[in-house]
Amino acid sequence: QVQLVESGGGSVQTGDSLRLSCAASGLSFSSYHIGWFRQAPGKEREFVAAITRSGSGSKIFYADSVKGRFTISRDNAKITTYLQMNSLKPEDTGLYHCAAVNTPQGTWSATYYKPQAYRVWGQGTQVTVST
What is the percentage of the chain residues whose pLDDT exceeds 70?
Answer: 98
β 120-121/125-130 pair status: unpaired
- Closest to 92 in 3D by CA, of 83, 100, 101, 82: 83
Name the β-bridge partners of 85: 18, 70
pLDDT at 3 over 70: yes
Mean pLDDT, residues 23-48 taken together: 94
Mean pLDDT, residues 76-90 taken together: 96
Q: How far is CA 99 from CA 12, 22, 26, 80, 131, in A?
A: 24, 9, 14, 12, 29
* pLDDT given for residue 20 in this prediction: 98
pLDDT at 30 over 90: no
Name the β-bridge partners of 32: 102
Mean pLDDT, residues 18-45 taken together: 94
Residue predicted with more confidence, 56 or 3:
3
Mean pLDDT, residues 56-85 taken together: 94
